[in-house]
């Protein structure tokens, strides 16, 4: 293999790996609230806040790269609090709708703000993020979720997901926990935004539409929320899939854009119908299937 081919390989797959990392962070940001039973779809808005904050700091100040990421994490987290206090009182679908509304308001705000060039967005952002920084942040996020499992707050979150009222009668301040996870998710989405801005050197409001948060939700659902690795697995699967399709599409004579969307939708449908707990539930489903086959055979033989 020639040196050029190797270099091309690295360059192509480096960007896929980077986007797997970014999408993994985004999936974890949605997982944060899903893990305590809240369907919050505000994260495109939080991501936008982080992205623009980091981009503006990178373009107009001499703040260091880590400092811009910190700002990208903190701004959305702070905004999450006054948003969450009234909104987390809402149930299920209403919470989802209110948070979708928030995301759209943020996006429209940026579209209409001249300081950030409105719909054209910001360009030529210094390209300071790379594979290493992205995966470092992802690793940190996974570490936090890992340590959370089994801990006092971690168990409180699980109980809120299962039965919020019963959890309250056990002394758990459910509002505070839900708010914390909303803020954590916001911070993760913000960091992902800040990283993406300084990786792709462009930030436009249309990158933070409702479709974006739907993607995040899909990563988390397809991967499965039963394990902290679920969201990452979902993100990896759904980031690699379009790349594969891009090669396959022309061979089959189908345009890649619609094909990718079609496959995304179909994968999501199949998962929600047949594998509702996501890819990570495959091992236990397999085991269950095996043991039911075994007992069926035993019953048949008896």
Partner 1 sequence: MLLELRSVERVFGGLRAVDGAGFALDAGEIRGLIGPNGAGKTTIINMISGLLRPTGGSIQLDGAPIDRLPPHRIAALGVTRTYQNIRLFPDLTAADNVLVGMHLVRRAPLWKRMAFLGEAAAEERASREAAMGLLSRVGLADRAAEKAQNLSYGEQRRVEIARALASGPRVLLLDEPTAGMNPVEVASIGELIREVARQGHSVLLVEHNVKLVMEICHRITVLNFGRVIADAAPAEVSKDPAVITAYLGSER
Partner 2 sequence: MGQQIINGAFVGSIYALFALGYTLVFGVLDILNLAHQAVFMLCAFIALALVSTLHLNILVALPLAVLAAGLIGVLLERVAFRPLRGRTNSNISGLISSLAMATIFESIALGFWGPDVSRFPFGTVPDRDLHLGGAVLSELQLVIVALALAMMAALTFLVQRTRLGREIRAVAESPLAARVLGVDVDRVIAASFFISSALGGAAGVLFGLAFNSISPDVGRSVELKGLAVIILGGMGSMPGAVLAAFALGLVEVFTVAQIGSSYRDAVSFVVLFLILLVRPRGLLGQAVARIA
| Residues lying near partner 2 in the complex (CB under 8 A) | 39, 86-87, 89-94, 96-98, 100-102, 104-105, 108-109, 111-112, 164-165, 174, 209-211, 214, 217-218, 221, 254-255, 257-262, 264-266, 268-269, 272-273, 276
Report, in Å, the least distance between residue 104 CB and partner 2: 5
10 binds, among partner 1, partner 2, none (CB under 5 to 8 A by kind): none
DSSP 10: H
Q: Which is nearer to partner 2, 203 or 238 (CB)?
A: 238
**Using CB under 8 A, which of the segments 50-58, 94-102, 147-155, 266-274 binds partner 1?**
147-155
Report, in Å, the least distance between residue 27 CB and partner 2: 14
Where is 263: in which H helix or E strand? helix 256-274
**Using CB under 8 A, which of the segments 4-12, 159-167, 280-288, 293-301 binds partner 1?**
159-167
Does 287 engage in binding with partner 1 (CB under 8 A)? no
Token pair, residue 162, equals: 């299962």
The answer to whether 103 and 41 are in contact (CB under 8 A) is yes
The beta-strand segments (E) located in the chain are 122-123, 202-203
> Which x/- pattern over 161-180 shows residues binding partner 1 (rule: CB under 8 A)?
-xx-xxxxxxxxxx------
Residue 178 contacts by C-beta under 8 Å, 6 or more apart in sequence? 33, 36, 38, 84, 88, 160
b/e code 259-286 from CB counts within 10 Å (16+ = b): bbeebbeebbeebeeebebbbbbeeeee
144 binds, among partner 1, partner 2, none (CB under 5 to 8 A by kind): partner 1
Does 283 engage in binding with partner 1 (CB under 8 A)? no
152 binds, among partner 1, partner 2, none (CB under 5 to 8 A by kind): partner 1
Strand partners, 123: 202
Q: Which is nearer to partner 1, 70 or 156 (CB)?
A: 156
Does 60 engage in binding with partner 1 (CB under 8 A)? no
**Using CB under 8 A, which of the segments 9-17, 92-100, 150-158, 216-224 binds partner 1?**
150-158
CA pair distance 243, 104, nearest whole angstrom: 29
Three-class DSSP category at 123: strand
**Using CB under 8 A, which of the segments 12-20, 151-159, 190-198, 265-273 binds partner 1?**
151-159
Report, in Å, the least distance between residue 148 CB and partner 1: 7
Strand partners, 203: 122
Can you tell me which of 86, 150, 283, 300 binds partner 1, judged by CB under 8 A?
150
Residue 275 contacts by C-beta under 8 Å, 6 or more apart in sequence? 281, 282, 285
Where is 52: in which H helix or E strand? helix 43-60
Does 284 engage in binding with partner 1 (CB under 8 A)? no
Of 10, 3, 2, 17, nearest to 239 by C-alpha is 17
Does 227 engage in binding with partner 1 (CB under 8 A)? no
Strand partners, 122: 203
Which residues of this protein are in contact with partner 1, per CB under 8 A? 143-144, 147-148, 150-153, 155-156, 158-159, 162-163, 165-174
């Amino acid at each position: 293999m020639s040196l050029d081919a190797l270099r091309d390989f690295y360059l192509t797959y480096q960007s896929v790996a980077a986007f797997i990392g970014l999408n993994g962070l985004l999936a974890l940001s949605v997982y944060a609230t899903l893990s305590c039973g809240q369907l919050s779809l505000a994260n495109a808005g939080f991501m936008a806040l982080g992205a623009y904050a980091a981009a503006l700091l990178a373009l107009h100040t001499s703040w260091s790269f880590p400092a811009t990421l910190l700002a990208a994490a903190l701004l959305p987290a702070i905004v999450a609090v006054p948003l969450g206090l009234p909104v987390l009182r809402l149930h299920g679908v209403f919470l989802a709708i209110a948070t979708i509304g928030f995301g759209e308001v943020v996006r429209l705000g940026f579209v209409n703000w001249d300081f950030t060039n409105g719909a054209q967005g910001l360009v030529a952002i210094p390209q300071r993020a790379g594979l290493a920084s992205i995966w470092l942040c992802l690793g940190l996020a996974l570490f936090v979720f890992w340590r959370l499992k089994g801990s006092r707050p971690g168990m409180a979150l699980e109980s809120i997901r299962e039965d919020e009222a019963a959890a309250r009668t056990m002394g758990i301040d459910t509002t505070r926990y839900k708010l914390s996870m909303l803020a954590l998710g916001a911070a993760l989405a913000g960091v992902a935004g800040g990283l993406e801005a300084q990786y792709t050197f462009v930030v436009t409001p249309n990158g933070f539409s409702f479709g974006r948060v739907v993607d995040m939700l899909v990563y988390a659902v397809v991967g499965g929320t039963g394990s902290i690795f679920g969201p990452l697995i979902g993100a990896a699967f759904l980031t690699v899939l379009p790349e594969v399709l891009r090669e396959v599409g022309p061979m089959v004579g189908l345009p890649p854009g619609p094909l990718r969307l079609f496959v995304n939708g179909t994968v999501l449908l199949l998962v929600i119908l047949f594998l509702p707990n996501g890819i990570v539930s495959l091992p236990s489903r397999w085991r269950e299937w095996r043991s039911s086959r075994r007992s069926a055979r035993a019953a048949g033989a008896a």
